[in-house]
A and B are shown apart, each in its own frame.
Chain A
Amino acid sequence: MAATINPETVHDVQGVPVHNVHRHDVVIVGAGLAALRAAVEASTEFDVAVVTKVYPTRSHSGAAQGGIAASLANEEEDHWEWHMFDTVKGSDYLGDQDAIEILVKEAPVVVREFEHMGAPFSRTPDGRIAQRMFGGHTKDFGRGGAVLRACYAADRTGHALLHTLYENCVKNGVRFYSEFYALGLVVRDNVCRGVVAWDIADGGVHVFHSKAVMFGTGGHARVFRIASISLSSTGDGPSMVLKAGLPLEDMEFLQFHPTGLYEHGILVSEAARGEGGYLVNGAGERFMKKYAPEKMELAPRDVTSRAIQKEIDEGRGIDGKDYVYLDLRHLGKEKIMSLLPQIHELAWKFIHVDCVKDPIPIQPTAHYSMGGIPTDNDCRVLADGKKEPVVGFYAAGECACVSVHGANRLGTNSLLEASLFGRRAGKSIVRFLREEPPFPELPADAAAAAIDEVEGILASSGTERAGAIKAEMQARMTTDCAVFRKGSVLEQLLKEVSTLRERYRKVRIDDRARDFNMDLIEALELGRMLDVVEVMVAGAINRAESRGAHSRVDFPKRDDTGWLKHTLVRRKNGKIEFDYRPVVITRFAPKERTY
């Protein structure tokens, strides 16, 4: 149990001015869908602060386009059991079925609450929330065709939901600390006591002392060169968790979205295929018929990305190059402009293609982190990755691993997971705080490690540029750890990663000022990315099978005897240690996965 608070000493943190020590019941790090949904929930009863490195509406949830899954059955017959089957099968049977059952059963409530909060969903003719098709979402336990399950606001669903949550946080009086970069967690004796952060605008270390900390820090796919995700999605949360000596789960599973704008990696929503778009190779053929004869372009993302990569690798890209076409022309201008306006805009602005007239060049792009911080179904972070929660520490959304996505996430399940488990985290925190626990004691050296890290970089006389290390890391990840992976290549890559980590110790920045020092922030972010990359690559080497998004050419088959289990990884005394946790299977026994 948490120690009692001593009001005399609580604000006495070594090296941090008193006015930089803040106290809130709840401190949430991040400001995407998971974080803000938790904030909306907890702020109805308690004092909530959100600490975020970008202004809340800049969070990457806003870039999500296609929809949020829920079996509302507004457009046609649908059932949560069907949604559950699709999610389990989509996960390549690595998703925990108790958590998935929660996800699909509560989905309609979460979506309707968004509507009640004001989200501008597109509507059916009779005024209900409109729904569209998405990859891997089917009727009748996969026996029927694609089902209309993704609730949407044109192709700006993430934007619409993120702004709705921000607006409701404003309404509830949530306190925002915008442009504060979290540096570390304060966990002692298995009790979370707060977060240390850097005030980007003015410079300076701040300590946030709280009864509950929640991480909704987002994904880490930015470790790849070709990536759909924002420059800010650098794995800060998972890295802080590793540094606190806690484990991460299933870090080897990283989703590659099939359709990134060529060379930019920018997302072209699966809604484009949901509305009927084709994938076409250099020979002008709809090649998905070879890989997913029934579901074609609406096969799940791992299957589709592998198909595209295989076409490219075997010389059937457009003009033999490393891209294929996403062809929307047959949909016609009216449908494109009303249902996929943002895709039209992005293709035009970024690669100067008018998708009404021309096909869009696309390639797989690093997109979504299935792995992350292990939590139980109430979003409590697990100290051992299995059972034992860290008191007062919660996580949800892409940074977490509950695990509902297993080895491969279905499209539209991410907005759902982030908001649904964000809401659960909020409720869980409320239950915890209603018992009126005292503020845990804040250790005097709470900020020591963070201060050392920042001051070390600011004063470094090293020789390495962060930009150069980052570019090498991202390039190597995209060539060696992407859609197809191979043991010998990964082994080499892991050595390279340790060299990069060595070089990072000598990182030097040009900007020595304290105010708005983005040179410092980018160097810090690189350190976090290297932490994440190391466990991701080590995990990819360790998992000697192919499952979902993790595809090993030297172990091409799924191995349920050896590997139907979650990976837990932690750093202990500089070494990487693995442990495992069984998959929760309740309704659907693993079967061969075809589409």
Chain B
Amino acid sequence: MAENEKRKVTFKVHRYNTGGRARERYVQAYELEVAKGQSVLDCLNEIKWKQDGTLTFRRSCKSGICGSCAMTINSVSRLACETQVLLLGSPTITVEPLKGFTVMKDLVVDMDRFMEKLIAVKPYLITKTPTPTDQERFQSPADRAKLDGLYECILCGACTSSCPSFWADEEYLGPHALLKAYRFIADSRDEGRKDHFEALDDKHGLWRCHYIFNCVEACPKSLNPTKAIAALRRELAKERIG
């Protein structure tokens, strides 16, 4: 298509909003002329700013790094800010909140439980050896490389939202929390394996994952929580054998 050509796109947004009436779920369609390079977030903003200020969603960095705007776009969990509308190749875009979460309003879901599960795995470096003064702890590039693919998580919720095990068991910690746990277990500096494992060794924890790999597909940062979960199981087995 030509550089400046615009295309008419219909956004079908799943809403949950009082809109002055009793609270109800409904689908509302908005039409927009979309140019090349415009993201789903750009379009939602345009709708909010020009057509309908009641349309509600989270957003912040619009650069794919803060994790605020994860939502379900054409049935897939994605970040709205980095999803280019025309590349979806569809004249109709369906926008829904993240699946499996409690909807608060329109595209906004309750993230508190999600964050509580993260906190449950003690998501911080635990050390027992005193820290060196006037110096960093040393870590070889090879040991540091073990954190690649783990520390980049932006806590957007796309993985957990895509996980059938989570849909079936809302107590399940979820891939985000398990990925974070492994980020510390895998860290050569960490001395708190037992502490991190405490929350994991549970039917709602490490053993709830059935290797469905939806989380891998959903992650906007191309991370692999399933691999991390498999590694955690190996590590936990080692821990038990002692």
Chain A proximity of B119: nearest CB distance (Å): 5
Interfacial residues of chain A within 373-387, with CB under 8 A of chain B in the complex: none
Interfacial residues of chain B within 46-68, with CB under 8 A of chain A in the complex: 48-50, 52-54, 56-68
Is B56 in contact with A63, judged by CB distance below 8 angstroms?
Answer: no
Kindly state the separation between the CA atoms of A230 and B123 in the bound complex, as whole angstroms.
26
Q: Is A476 an interface residue (CB 8 A)?
A: no
Q: Is A5 an interface residue (CB 8 A)?
A: no
Is B50 in contact with A467, judged by CB distance below 8 angstroms?
Answer: yes
Kindly state the separation between the CA atoms of A466 and B49 in the bound complex, as whole angstroms.
7
Is A232 in contact with B82, judged by CB distance below 8 angstroms?
Answer: no
* Contacts A60-B60, A171-B124; A159 near B53 (Cβ below 8 A): no
Q: Which of B135-143, B160-168, B208-216 sits within the interface?
A: B135-143
Query: Quick one: closest A residue to B220, CB to CB?
Result: A349
Q: Is A18 an interface residue (CB 8 A)?
A: no
Is A156 in contact with B84, judged by CB distance below 8 angstroms?
Answer: no
Q: Is B108 an interface residue (CB 8 A)?
A: yes
How would residues 492 to 521 of chain A score, 1 for a CB under 8 Å from any chain B CB and 0 otherwise?
A: 000000000000000001111101111100
* Contacts A57-B67, A518-B56; A123 near B49 (Cβ below 8 A): no
Q: Is B12 an interface residue (CB 8 A)?
A: no
Is B49 in contact with A471, judged by CB distance below 8 angstroms?
Answer: yes
How would residues 223 to 239 of chain A score, 1 for a CB under 8 Å from any chain B CB and 0 otherwise?
A: 00000101110000000
Is A352 in contact with B84, judged by CB distance below 8 angstroms?
Answer: yes
Is A512 in contact with B56, judged by CB distance below 8 angstroms?
Answer: no
Interfacial residues of chain A within 82-117, with CB under 8 A of chain B in the complex: 111-112, 115-117
When distances are taken between beta carbons in the complex, the residues of chain A under 8 Å from B67 are: 57-58
Q: Which of B64, B68, B111 contacts A349 (CB 8 A)?
A: B64
- Number of A positions contacting B (CB below 8 A): 67
Query: Quick one: closest A residue to B114, CB to CB?
Result: A55
Is A58 in contact with B134, judged by CB distance below 8 angstroms?
Answer: no
Is B61 in contact with A60, judged by CB distance below 8 angstroms?
Answer: yes
Kindly state the separation between the CA atoms of A74 and B220 in the bound complex, as whole angstroms.
34
* Contacts A54-B66, A60-B60, A519-B53; A117 near B125 (Cβ below 8 A): yes
Chain A proximity of B242: nearest CB distance (Å): 26
When distances are taken between beta carbons in the complex, the residues of chain B under 8 Å from A123 are: 139-141, 144
Chain A proximity of B30: nearest CB distance (Å): 13
Kindly state the separation between the CA atoms of A111 and B134 in the bound complex, as whole angstroms.
11
Is A128 in contact with B68, judged by CB distance below 8 angstroms?
Answer: no
Kindly state the separation between the CA atoms of A349 and B38 in the bound complex, as whole angstroms.
11
Chain B proximity of A8: nearest CB distance (Å): 34
Q: Is A153 an interface residue (CB 8 A)?
A: yes
Chain A proximity of B154: nearest CB distance (Å): 7
When distances are taken between beta carbons in the complex, the residues of chain B under 8 Å from A264 are: 37
Q: Which of A160-168, A297-305, A556-564 sits within the interface?
A: A160-168
Q: Is A279 an interface residue (CB 8 A)?
A: no
Query: Quick one: closest B residue to A470, CB to CB?
Result: B49
Is A230 in contact with B66, judged by CB distance below 8 angstroms?
Answer: yes
Is B65 in contact with A512, judged by CB distance below 8 angstroms?
Answer: no
Q: Which of B53, B82, B108, B139 contacts A465 (CB 8 A)?
A: B53
When distances are taken between beta carbons in the complex, the residues of chain A under 8 Å from B140 are: 123, 127
Q: Is B152 an interface residue (CB 8 A)?
A: yes
How would residues 172 to 201 of chain B score, 1 for a CB under 8 Å from any chain A CB and 0 otherwise?
A: 000000000000100101100000000000
Is B37 in contact with A263, judged by CB distance below 8 angstroms?
Answer: yes
Query: Quick one: closest A residue to B184, CB to CB?
Result: A118
When distances are taken between beta carbons in the complex, the residues of chain A under 8 Å from B207 are: none
Q: Is B26 an interface residue (CB 8 A)?
A: no
Chain A proximity of B45: nearest CB distance (Å): 8
Is B123 in contact with A167, judged by CB distance below 8 angstroms?
Answer: yes
When distances are taken between beta carbons in the complex, the residues of chain B under 8 Å from A201 are: 104
Is B151 in contact with A468, judged by CB distance below 8 angstroms?
Answer: no
Chain B proximity of A390: nearest CB distance (Å): 29
How would residues 111 to 141 of chain B score, 1 for a CB under 8 Å from any chain A CB and 0 otherwise?
A: 1000100010011110100010011111111
Q: Is A535 an interface residue (CB 8 A)?
A: no
Kindly state the separation between the CA atoms of A522 and B52 in the bound complex, as whole angstroms.
13
Q: Which of A159, A350, A465, A510 contacts B154 (CB 8 A)?
A: A159
Query: Quick one: closest B residue to A167, CB to CB?
Result: B124
Chain A proximity of B128: nearest CB distance (Å): 13
Q: Which of B66, B104, B123, B187 contacts A170 (CB 8 A)?
A: B123
Chain B proximity of A107: nearest CB distance (Å): 13
Is A351 in contact with B37, judged by CB distance below 8 angstroms?
Answer: yes
Chain B proximity of A403: nearest CB distance (Å): 26
When distances are taken between beta carbons in the complex, the residues of chain A under 8 Å from B61 are: 58, 60, 62-63, 230-232
Q: Is B147 an interface residue (CB 8 A)?
A: yes
Q: Which of A58, A115, A125 contacts B60 (CB 8 A)?
A: A58
How would residues 111 to 148 of chain A score, 1 for a CB under 8 Å from any chain B CB and 0 otherwise?
A: 11001111011111111110000000000000000000
Is B151 in contact with A153, judged by CB distance below 8 angstroms?
Answer: yes
Kindly state the separation between the CA atoms of A60 and B18 in the bound complex, as whole angstroms.
31
When distances are taken between beta carbons in the complex, the residues of chain A under 8 Å from B111 are: 55
Is A112 in contact with B136, judged by CB distance below 8 angstroms?
Answer: yes
Q: Is A356 an interface residue (CB 8 A)?
A: no
Chain B proximity of A322: nearest CB distance (Å): 14
What are 24 residue pairs bridging A and B, where the CB atoms are less than 8 Å apart in the complex?
A: A63-B61, A115-B136, A118-B189, A120-B144, A120-B151, A121-B136, A123-B141, A127-B141, A128-B138, A170-B119, A171-B122, A231-B62, A232-B61, A342-B65, A350-B82, A465-B50, A465-B53, A466-B49, A466-B53, A467-B48, A468-B50, A509-B53, A511-B54, A513-B54
**Known contacts A57-B66, A58-B68, A112-B136; 18 further A-B pairs (Cβ under 8 A):** A57-B67, A58-B61, A60-B60, A121-B136, A127-B140, A159-B154, A266-B63, A342-B65, A345-B64, A350-B39, A350-B84, A465-B49, A465-B53, A467-B49, A467-B50, A513-B18, A515-B104, A522-B48
When A and B form their complex, which 9 residue pairs have the shortest distance between CB atoms, in order from nearest? A467-B49, A118-B125, A510-B53, A127-B138, A167-B124, A519-B53, A115-B136, A58-B66, A511-B54
Chain A residues in contact with chain B, CB under 8 A? Answer: 54-55, 57-60, 62-63, 111-112, 115-118, 120-129, 153-154, 156, 159-160, 163, 167-168, 170-171, 201, 228, 230-232, 263-264, 266-267, 342, 345-346, 349-352, 465-468, 470-471, 509-513, 515-519, 522
